[in-house]
Amino acid sequence: MRLTRYFLPVLKETPSEAQIVSHRLMLRAGMIRQQAAGIYSWLPLGFKVLRKIEDIVHEEQARAGHIPIQMPILQPADLWRESGRYDDYGREMLRMQDRHERDLLYTPTAEEMVTDIFRAHVSSYKDLPLTLYQIQWKFRDEVRPRFGVMRGREFYMKDGYTFDLTEADAKHAYNRHLVSYLRTYERMGLQAIPMKAEGGPIGGDYTHEFLVLAETGESEVFYDAEITDLRFGNREIDYDDAGACQAVLDEFTARYARTDDTHDEVLFHERVPEDRRRVARGIEVGQIFYFGTKYSEPMGATVQGHDGKPVPVHMGSHGIGVSRLLGAIIEASHDDNGIIWPEAVTPFHVGIVNLKQGDAEADAACTALHDQIAALGLEPLYDDRDERAGGKFATMDLIGLPWRITVGPRGLKNGVVELTSRRTGESEELPPEQAVDRIAQIYAGH
């Protein structure tokens, strides 16, 4: 992609309404535009990263054997009256009527609708276990939408729902989600720590939130410092093996780690030696719930059990804050000059900076690099604007591409270009073909 043909409305000024760095950088880098409180348009650069995060979520869901569906954003209120949540949900739910004066709502979550799909089509224990999930827009009329995409009113969420015959099977589904979430976040370069949490309006007291530690996080968290040494890494796991999934849950939840909702100061002191006690802040990037028959009973979602009698299914729901993850990744990975994208989610793989636009040799070298990198199946962003080098570097640093190739007439005379790492700032001079090879190697594992 040539920058002169792209749409990258970067801002020179730091927007005054943005209180935290990720919000500031997303606005400055031209990734989003606020259209109303907590409601955003996703501009090309932001939309690209959103899609990459979404792709990783889909891939890890597929690996765990979960099945994608898509449910509507507008739902009939009657479904929610069946579970009793239509009245319970309060003012966070956006309610409306159609031309026939039928009550509708903009979905804040989808337990009722997925339960309705289940009861209409599944009747035997032989069809279990089943996990259906979607990635879909949600609306919650938050009292204080803030921090950009971190706490929006409209936001993009992966919501998955598990159906099982027994509590033991449902716990396996829960554990399977915990494992797949650990993998998902690590692939995005994040460490998200599972912490004991509260069910809130979704229900159940068997629930964990996943928190990314960050000073700007909205949740206060209390944990044993040892927990930050844990990594899932690239171990192989058989998601059908209940024992193996349970072992991962045990490993990652053995140490004290709680949000302020469930924190117990006495227990904290009992279980964690003083030098390992940490009180910090975190961003909640996901939550998993097991809530038994809370929805299946009132909504009549039953299956014929082994003895032929109908039993309500055991359910859980499992969410990832897909749009919030952009903010979380930026909070975890930036410097004074801008964003530093992890390779796995970067909007473009390499930036190409032409130091002397209009110089025949420099232009030709940049075009050749662009085409060779594109031929690898990667996406370069070629800054072909007629601008000073300083301005081009500042834009590249701001939008955070992890690698930059700088091309200028002086280097070309010696047969070299410069390859620079956004993260370390280190540069290396090498012939253009070798720069392309290096880029190929860097992205071979992604």
Which chain residues interact with ligand 5CA by CB under 6 A?
A: 109, 140, 142, 151-152, 155, 157, 159, 202, 284-287, 317-319, 321, 323-324
Nearest approach in angstroms of CB 287 to ligand 5CA is: 4
The nearer residue to ligand 5CA, 155 or 163, going by C-beta atoms, is 155
In 3D space, the residue among 250, 323, 332, 282 whose CA is nearest the CA of residue 46 turns out to be 323
The nearer residue to ligand 5CA, 154 or 169, going by C-beta atoms, is 154
Give the C-alpha separation, 105 to 92, whole Å: 11
The nearer residue to ligand 5CA, 202 or 332, going by C-beta atoms, is 202
The nearer residue to ligand 5CA, 141 or 297, going by C-beta atoms, is 141
Nearest approach in angstroms of CB 392 to ligand 5CA is: 33
The nearer residue to ligand 5CA, 262 or 434, going by C-beta atoms, is 262
The nearer residue to ligand 5CA, 149 or 401, going by C-beta atoms, is 149
Question: Residue of minimal CB distance from ligand 5CA?
Answer: 321
Whether the Cβ atoms of residue 308 and residue 339 lie closer than 8 Å to each other: no
Give the C-alpha separation, 57 to 320, whole Å: 8
The nearer residue to ligand 5CA, 112 or 383, going by C-beta atoms, is 112
In 3D space, the residue among 258, 262, 261, 251 whose CA is nearest the CA of residue 278 turns out to be 258
Which residues contact residue 80 at a Cβ distance below 8 angstroms, ignoring those fewer than 6 apart?
Answer: 86, 89, 105, 112
Nearest approach in angstroms of CB 74 to ligand 5CA is: 17
Helix 242-253 and helix 167-187, axial crossing angle in degrees, nearest 10: 60
Nearest approach in angstroms of CB 289 to ligand 5CA is: 6
Nearest approach in angstroms of CB 275 to ligand 5CA is: 31
Element at 321 (helix H, strand E): strand 314-321
Nearest approach in angstroms of CB 425 to ligand 5CA is: 32
Nearest approach in angstroms of CB 81 to ligand 5CA is: 18
Whether the Cβ atoms of residue 114 and residue 108 lie closer than 8 Å to each other: no
Give the C-alpha separation, 127 to 417, whole Å: 59
Number of Cβ within 10 Å of residue 165's Cβ equals 20
Cα 431 to Cα 378, 406, 412, distances in angstroms: 19, 12, 9
Termini Cα distance of the chain: 20
